[in-house]
Amino acid sequence: MSVKYTPVQWNANKYGYDLVLIGMVVLYILSFLNVAPMFLDHARPTDGPIVRARAFGTCAFLLLTIILCIGPLARLDARFLPLLYNRRHFGVLTSVIALSHAMFVMDWYFNFAPQSKLEGLLGANTSYGQVLGFPFEVLGLAGLICLGILAATSHDFWLNFLTPRLWKALHFLIYPAFAAVVGHIALGSLQSQDNSIFAIVVGLSTALVCGLHALAAWKERGCDKRGNADAGWIIVGDAGDIEEGRAKIIKLPNGDRVAVFRHKARLSAIANACAHQNGPLGEGRIVDGCVTCPWHGFQYRVADGRSPAPFTEMVPTYRLKLDQTTVLVDPNANEPGMFVEPTALPEHMQ
Amino acid sequence: MGTVSNVLMFAEWWLYFGAAVAFYFLTVGIERIDENARGAYVFRPLLIPGVLLIWPLVLWRIAVLERNKPEGFGRYRPLRTAHGYVWLVLFFAIPAIFVTAMLLKQTWPADIPAVRLSPAEAVSQ
């Protein structure tokens, strides 16, 4: 979204995504409010605010788990890419639900404290030196602050202002946030429950998130081919291996990845990282003459790495040459947006 | 309560400074460093919570962008070095927290069978 900060990219898919998301959250919370009290195993009926706090708390945890699973799932199977498309709205909704959980808790447990609610929350238990009895509320607060930062900086302005690199670094806060939330639940709610269903759900969710990340990293490691050098140029491979409208990704000695595209029997190379959120351009395809990022649909002309007007995003380009049918790339990146004449394939390969 | 009060006072002042930075940034600063923001006003209130929370980072970025120096290829390079830290959190910290909490969990006193401590004849009621 580089052309003014107006909602130019809102479309039926995004509206549909958000409607389904909000519908599922409402359904979950209503179900929890009506069904969970029957399984809470309390001697007396549980108060409404406690059940509401639990409904929103469990909902936030499940949403956080799903958010963390979307990334690796999309790396493992392209059919999950549509979930990635609007993941930021998922994140904002999660932080709102987590905040609602915190408000219910504060309004119930600290409403009549002589000091402010926050002071009551932070001062009620200060046993930081022990595991059992650790002030788990602080872990929840830490997770909530992390989620708040992520939600507050989710607008595309922040990506452009902070740079994708710094924005991504900031958004890696999702991992300590998840760790804090797991600690908050394990040292809090799970310590006081006889019923082990929720402990099993938390354990399985944690294992799922960790397992999917490990699988995705394993797959990426297997696909990551490092190009061999030939007199300063890096060997990409045989030109015949690159499908029309698709790319081959190669890793340079400095760790950067280059996507070599074939379009209309000519080859061009651009950086593999999208200027928007560093999505893998080389896993996208050419649509209407432009490389299209598989994550959010940002487009770049293949010869100069520039987004078509009126958009202004750019990525670095690379020079290519052919040695018979072997494609070689110059590892020195050109300035972002610099035109490089595409390399024509030999006639017998066209 | 002294420490807690100090932490809350720090948070309060953090937000006051953030509000001052947000006022400057969203009225004057943003137009100086981002030409796409010129004439676009509706989205600006959406940025207020972000500025309140990360205002030191905002001030630093304003200073960098005001210098008008090209930022080089760093802007286009994905952050791969952070993956090690993600591994540390996912595969060490989170399982350690969960497993430790479950191992140390105490059973409820109600689960323990009742043991008579005093002989029945010694109990008056």
A327 forms beta bridges with A237, A322
Alpha-carbon span A68 to B39, nearest angstrom: 36
Cα–Cα distance measured from residue A178 to residue B89, given in angstroms and rounded to the nearest whole number:
9
The per-residue pLDDT for range A259-281, each reduced to its tens digit, is 999 988 899 999 988 888 788 88
**Domain presence at residue B124:** no
The answer to whether residue B28 sits within a structural domain is: yes
Q: How many cross-chain Cβ pairs, A to B, lie less than 8 Å apart?
A: 155
Cβ within 8 Å of B, A 15-44: none
Gyration radius from chain A CA atoms = 25
Q: Are A277 and A296 in contact (CB under 8 A)?
A: yes
CA atoms within 13 A on the CB side of A327: 31
Q: How many domains does chain B have?
A: 1
Flag whether residue A326 sits within 8 Å of chain B, measured between CB atoms. Answer: no
Instruction: Kindly state the percentage of chain A with pLDDT values over 90.
Output: 34
The nearest CA of chain A is from the CA of B121 a distance in Å of: 32
The answer to whether residue B35 sits within a structural domain is yes
Residue B68 lies in a domain: yes
B48: domain range?
Answer: 2-80
Q: Identify the pLDDT of residue A132.
A: 83
Contact A182 B97 (CB under 8 A): yes
Q: Which residues contact A211 (CB under 8 A, 6 or more apart)?
A: none
pLDDT, tens digit, 9 for 90 and up, residues A135-194: 999 999 999 999 999 999 998 889 889 988 889 889 999 999 999 999 999 999 888 776
Is the model's pTM score more than 0.80? Answer: yes
pLDDT at residue B115, as a whole number:
67
A141 is written with which tokens? 């607060």
Cα–Cα dist A164/A89, whole Å? 18
Whether B106 maps to a domain, the answer reads no
pLDDT score of B17: 97
Confirm whether B119 is domain-assigned: no
For residue B12, give every residue at least 6 positions away whose Cβ sits within 8 Å of its Cβ, in sequence order, or none: none
How sure is the predictor about A91, in pLDDT bands with cuts at 50, 70 and 90?
very high
Q: How far is A315 from chain B (nearest CA, A)?
A: 7
d(CA B92, CA B86): 10
pLDDT at A41: 57
Distance from CA of A348 to the nearest CA of B (A): 36
Q: Which residue has the higher pLDDT, A172 or A253?
A: A172
State the ipTM, two decimals: 0.82
Inside any domain, residue B9: yes
In this complex, the residue of A6, A155, A271 whose CB is nearest that of residue B46 is A155
Segment B58-85 mean pLDDT: 78
Q: Which of A165, A167, A300 to mutate to test the interface with B (most CBs of B within 10 A)?
A: A165
Model confidence at B125, pLDDT cuts 50, 70, 90, reads very low
Residue B99 lies in a domain: no
Residue with the larger pLDDT of the pair A6 and A87? A87
Average pLDDT over residues A249-262: 87
